[in-house]
Amino acid sequence: MTQATVAAALEIVCPAGNPAALRAAVDAGTDTVYAGFADETNARNFPGLNFNREEMAQGIAYAHQRGCGVFIAVNTYPEAGNPGVWRQAVDDAAALGADAIILADIGLLDYAKHTQPDLRRHLSVQASASNAEAIRFYHRAFGVKRVVLPRVLTVAEIAELNASIPVETEVFAFGGMCVMAEGRCSLSSYATGLSPNGDGVCSPASHVHYEKRGGEMVSRLGEFTLNIFSEGEAAGYPTLCKGRFVTDDSASYLFEEPSSLNVIEILPELAAAGVSALKIEGRQRGRAYVSRVVAEFRKAVDIATRGGTLKGGELDDMTEGRRDTAGAYQKIWH
Amino acid sequence: MTVALSLGPLLYNWPAEDIRDFYFRIADEAPLERVYLGEVVCSKRTPFFERYLPEVAERLAAAGKEVVHSTLALIMSEHEMDAIRSLAETPDILIEANDIGSAALLAGRPHVIGPFVNVYNEDTLDYLARHGAGLVSLPWELPAPAIAGLAKAAAIPLEVQIFGRIPLAISARCYHARRYGLHKDGCQYVCADDADGMAVETLDGEGFLAVNGTQTLSHTIGALMPELEGLRETGIENFRLWPHAIDMVAVAQIFRDLLDGKKAADEAWRGLADIADFAPFSNGFYHDGEGAALVRQA
């Protein structure tokens, strides 16, 4: 669908949930890796995931030796009365030589600006900065250099936005997709007590149960049934907003079908809209996934940069429900 | 300091005349100190009530109620931001920012930070207070210890939500429109069919959520009653009720009597359950558990 010539290459920003994934992403040709410390300071606080300080130091060294950057996400909201662990994460990111830190909380941005002024600051999607006034505020107040845009904007809206803000934008390119404005969703904590904002988890596995009911498989999150699958139907993970619910006597995927975001086919449009970087979702994903997705994006970005034509479809087997969508970037999704 | 009971902005899409009459009655009869007016959820709804806004605001003010103009929780276009810019340039009105972009526009003039802005800790609260916030209405997700910590550190008053369906999420996508196979641009305002939100049940038939256009709320009605004493001991003096399509004057009276010590919590609870009977109560967020839970206090 595309043949526009693209001047600047889009930066590929790839997740790493552990050192092996980090090395795989670097080897597969990512420009940058993003990662987090193994605690509640980042929005993928899953058991067995993320980096201790030593692993982070080694990961940064591995990436830097191969010309790649590393961003550290400290993008949950510090708990009242307990800022220490978040501040330490900011200070350690600077000491370890991270190329940027990804933050969401105003108080923590203020702290980072004053205590680690030389560490580049990016605004996390968890800050939900969806308009020019908000983005200009984060730039003016905290010297933020890049904003990860919430998945609520269309390509046209992103282009309009980029024309009026003094910072780079990074958009979600591939993987699981929040249908709610990120950082402003308490659905998970309503059902489980654990939230993306405070605990760095959404629909956590600790609260997921599957139960057999006759030939059917029921998936539950906390006390709530999120889906019932008939025999032979693949039982997906019960992420709250991807559940099947009943409204007015009719069952449907009310919020979103199980599907993944994939922007490969609209890369030239995103570049033309002034986007600087593409963020791949999935710090919970393994090495094989990371290698595959990065390799395909590397290829696609290079083709797009040369003005070539993109087919898309290469990653269909990696997407949830084997369905992908350019999602919120298209007006029709709304 | 005196206790202030407030009525948050109406979140649902009611007919404009019904809204006008609702607020007239609130102005004349409800024992409230503060009333928030304005569309928070969807900018498409704004034009209808706009013509009644001046007389409603005037009637509320004449009745001694402080009027606060609430603004959108999710701002996605310059058109939406222009409406807030124009409001921000209006002298002598108090505005509630529900997006950090609006808060930035209001820096330097007194304003309220609404519960759709993420205020989780002392540093963020302090930053906002230093830039003109005169009142912060805290997010619903905060548990008692966090509220107490913030209240202790706060240089400005804080407000806590104590009644109503809990706003859990906001999206670019309209789920009311999606439910009826419509596009948001041609939504036919189907959200107007559900005065307290559209019921969302699990496949097992359990009440779970409520959809209000682009907003998703709890099925349960958040209700803090025995908890009010503890909140006041930590220094919280501002309490917010969310409007519902029930007798809100009576609801306000129950909370007023409770705060004034004229009613015990259990009596107030029974009275409230009689009026707000469309869903069960919850208080789990306050008690640091799942939001849907109801923790019974002795």
Cβ–Cβ gap B141/A186 under 8 Å: yes
Cβ A187 vs Cβ A204: under 8 Å: no
Look up the domain containing A264 and give its range: 11-177+259-333
Give the rounded percent of residues in chain B with a pLDDT score beyond 70: 99
Indicate whether A152 and A281 sit together in one domain: yes
Cβ within 8 Å, pair B122-A245: no
Residue A152: the pLDDT is 82
Measured in angstroms, the CA of B63 and the nearest CA of chain A are apart by: 35
Domain identity same for A74 and A193? no
Quote the number of domains for chain A: 2
Name which of B75, B126, B203 is nearest A246 (Cβ-Cβ).
Answer: B203
- Burial label, A118 (beta-carbon count in 10 A; 0-12, 13-18, 19+): exposed
- pLDDT tens across B108-152, in order? 899 999 999 999 999 999 999 999 999 999 999 999 999 999 999
The residue from A252, A286, A307 where one domain ends is A252
Report CA-CA distances (Å) from B33 to B38, B66, B69, B72, B166.
17, 6, 14, 22, 22
Distance in angstroms (rounded) separating the CA atoms of residues A239 and B120: 24
From chain B, the residues in CB contact with A107 under 8 A are: 121-127
- List C-alpha distances in Å: A250 to A158, A201, A253, A308: 35, 30, 10, 45
Indicate the helix (H) or strand (E) that contains B111.
Answer: strand B111-113
B168 CB within 8 Å of a chain A CB = yes
Tell me the C-alpha distance between B14 and A26, whole Å: 54
Q: For residue A161, give Cα distances in angstroms to A155, A165, B296.
A: 10, 6, 48
So what's the pLDDT on residue A260? 79
Question: Domain with A55 in it: what CATH number?
Answer: 3.20.20.70
- Phi, psi values for residue B14, rounded to 5°: -100, 160
Shortest Cα distance from A214 to chain B (angstroms)?
15
CB distance B3 to B159 below 8 Å: no
By C-alpha distance, the chain A residue nearest B204 is A225
User: Does the CB of B44 have a partner CB in chain A at under 8 Å?
Assistant: no
Look at residues B62, B67, B58, B63 and name the one whose alpha carbon lies nearest to residue B8: B67
pLDDT of residue A328: 65
Residues 115-134 of chain B with CB under 8 A from chain A are: 116, 118, 120-128
**Domain identity same for A134 and A98:** yes
* Segment B277-284 mean pLDDT: 98
Q: Which residue of A has its CA nearest to B220?
A: A190
Chain A, 143 to 202: residues with Cβ < 8 Å from chain B are 151-153, 157, 160, 179-181, 183-187, 189-193, 195, 197-198
Same domain as A246, residue A281 = no
Q: What is the pLDDT of residues B152-184, one digit of tens each?
A: 999 999 999 999 999 999 999 999 999 999 999
Average pLDDT over residues B1-30: 96
Backbone angles phi, psi at A208, to 5 degrees: -95, 135
Question: Which secondary structure element, helix H or strand E, spans residue B281, and what is its range?
Answer: strand B281-282
CB-based contact B279:B221 (threshold 8 Å): yes
Contacts of B243 (CB under 8 A, 6+ apart): B7, B8, B9, B10, B11, B12, B22, B164
- Together in a domain, A30 and A131: yes
CB interface of B with A, residues 139-158, below 8 Å = 139-142, 145-147, 149-150, 153
10 Å CB burial of residue B136 (0-12, 13-18, 19+) is: buried
For residue A61, the tally of other CB atoms under 10 A from its CB is: 13
If pLDDT is split at 50, 70 and 90, which confidence band does B88 have? very high
Q: Which residues from B are below 8 Å from A331, CB to CB?
A: 185
Please list every residue in chain B whose beta carbon sits closer than 8 Å to the beta carbon of residue A334.
172-174, 183-185
Contact A221, A191 (CB under 8 A): yes
A277 to A10, A168, B21, B193, B287: CA distances (angstroms): 5, 8, 51, 42, 41
**pLDDT of res. A319:** 67
Residue B200 is nearest to which of A79, A225, A254, comparing CB atoms?
A254
Cβ contact, residue pair A80, B120, below 8 Å: yes
Q: What is the pLDDT of residue A283?
A: 84
The list of chain A residues with pLDDT below 50 reads 1-6
Residue A325: predicted pLDDT? 67
CB of B102 within 8 Å of any CB in chain A?
yes
A327 CB-side CA count, 13 A: 29
Angle in degrees, 0-180, between the axes of helices B248-259 and B265-275, rounded to the nearest 10 = 180
Question: Does one domain contain both A104 and A238?
Answer: no
Name every chain B residue with its beta carbon within 8 A of the beta carbon of A90.
none
Q: Do A106 and B202 touch (CB under 8 A)?
A: no
Q: Let me know if residue A3 belongs to a domain.
A: no
What pLDDT, on the 0 to 100 scale, is given for residue A3? 44
A263 shares a domain with A246: no
Whether A245 and chain B come into contact, CB under 8 Å, resolves to: yes
**What structural domains and CATH numbers belong to chain B?**
4-168+217-282 (3.20.20.70)
Identify whether residues A165 and A96 lie together within a single domain: yes
Entry pTM? 0.95
Domain match, A107 and A70 both: yes
Angle at B150 between CA B147 and CA B154, to 5 degrees: 135
What dihedral do alpha carbons B259, B260, B261, B265 form, nearest 10°?
A: -30
A53: number of Cβ within 10 Å: 15
The CA distance from B239 to B4, in Å, is 6
Last residue of a domain, one of A252, A271, A301: A252
Closest to B169 (Cβ–Cβ): which among A130, A184, A193?
A184
Q: Which helix (H) or strand (E) holds B137?
A: strand B133-137
| A249 Cβ under 8 Å from any chain B Cβ | no
Mean pLDDT confidence for B207-235: 97
Asked if A196 and A264 sit in the same domain, the reply is: no
Give residue A1's pLDDT.
40
Give the pLDDT confidence score for residue A2 in this predicted structure: 43
**What pLDDT shows up at residue A4?**
46
Q: Is the pLDDT of residue B14 over 80?
A: yes
Q: Is B101 on the interface with A (CB under 8 A)?
A: yes
Residue A129 lies in a domain: yes
**What are the E-state strand segments in A144-243?**
146-148, 168-175, 208-213, 216-221, 224-229
Best mutation target among A124, A190, A218, A226 (most B Cβ atoms within 10 Å) is A190
% helix, strand, coil for chain B, step of 5: 35, 20, 40
Asked if residue A2 is part of any domain, the answer here is no
Q: What percentage of chain B has pLDDT greater than the value 90?
A: 96
Nearest to B149 among A81, A110, A224 (CB): A81
Out of A204, A219, A252, a domain closes at A252
**Which H or E element spans position B240?**
strand B238-241
In a domain, A182, yes or no: no
Instruction: Using CB atoms, pick whichever of A106, A189, A224 lies closest to residue B124.
Output: A106
Are A171 and A263 in contact by the 8 Å Cβ rule? The answer is yes
Does A265 share its domain with A127?
yes
Assigned domain for A5 exists: no
Q: Which amino acid is at B78?
A: E
Q: Do B100 and A192 touch (CB under 8 A)?
A: no
Residue A173 and residue A211 in one domain: no
Q: Which residues of chain A does B150 touch, with a Cβ-Cβ cutoff of 8 Å?
A: 80
- Cβ pair B128, B149 in contact under 8 A: no
Asked if the C-beta of B89 comes within 8 angstroms of chain A's C-beta atoms, the answer is no
**CB atoms inside a 10 Å sphere around CB B108:** 9
Instruction: Check pLDDT > 80 for residue B225.
Output: yes
- Write phi, then psi, for A225 (nearest 5 degrees): -75, 125
Residues with Cβ within 8 Å of A292's Cβ and at least 6 positions away in sequence, in order, are: A28, A315, A318
